[in-house]
A and B are shown apart, each in its own frame.
Chain A
Amino acid sequence: AQKVTQAQTEISVVEKEDVTLDCVYETRDTTYYLFWYKQPPSGELVFLIRRNSFDEQNEISGRYSWNFQKSTSSFNFTITASQVVDSAVYFCALSGPGTYKYIFGTGTRLKVLA
């Protein structure tokens, strides 16, 4: 069975601190895809990144970086020098090969305090 665990329900940091959001997944597929989405207070869901299981290179996009480790079944998301605008709920999701079905984690609410 597939499963995504985001054990951190809520995290509070002070602006400019670095913060890491954890995502641990379970799957029996050898090919799979992982995603991160951001849901700001306004409510929309914004796609951030897609990573396939064959690409273990870390990815950096501005202040955002993602660490994919198959050995620990984790796909963690780090925000460097956090800003108040980063305050949101962040969802991690898992998908098998050639399938519509996403398995979402329950989300981590990040609060960045000024």
Chain B
Amino acid sequence: DAGITQSPRHKVTETGTPVTLRCHQTENHRYMYWYRQDPGHGLRLIHYSYGVKDTDKGEVSDGYSVSRSKTEDFLLTLESATSSQTSVYFCAISEDWTDNQPQHFGDGTRLSIL
């Protein structure tokens, strides 16, 4: 199994509060991703990173920010959580894009915003 740890695994919080999810990898992979999974939508990319301090937006980035200060850690922040951000969040990593190496996923974080 790819060495990916997401924390916390479950979180319940209130609307308007800030939330930070952490993804930690031990594979030394350059590329990291944050997805959200919602019924009827499959997985949708929020943000991704192609190196330390190098990040960019995915297709559903509004309301989210990310940071990557070390190769192994990729943080996803909801500055002011809304109920529409209730979802299951997955972190993924991959070795490179040039050969479309598969992305490997963490176990997910279930986030509920009341």
Q: Footprint of B on A, CB under 8 Å?
A: 4, 33, 35, 37, 42-47, 50, 52, 91, 95, 97-102, 104-107
Contact = CB atoms under 8 A, between A and B. Distances in A.
B42 A43 contact: no
Nearest to A33: B100
29 contacts: A4-B42, A37-B105, A42-B107, A43-B107, A43-B108, A43-B110, A44-B107, A45-B90, A45-B92, A45-B105, A45-B108, A50-B100, A50-B102, A91-B43, A98-B98, A98-B100, A99-B97, A99-B100, A100-B31, A100-B33, A100-B48, A100-B97, A101-B45, A102-B103, A104-B42, A104-B43, A106-B41, A106-B42, A107-B42
A101 B42 CA distance: 14
B64 interface: no
Interface of B: 31, 33, 40-45, 48, 50, 58, 88, 90, 92, 94, 97-98, 100-108, 110
A106 B97 CA distance: 23
Contacts, number: 55
A97 B103 CA distance: 14
Interface of B is mostly: strand
Given A50-B102, A102-B103, A106-B41, A44 B108 contact: yes
A69 to B, nearest CB: 20
Contacts of A37: 105
Contact of B104 (A4, A42, A47, A106): A47
Given A45-B90, A106-B41, A106-B42, A95 B105 contact: no
Central interface residue in A46, A50, A95, A102, by most chain B CB within 10 Å: A102
Nearest to A45: B105
A33 to B, nearest CB: 4
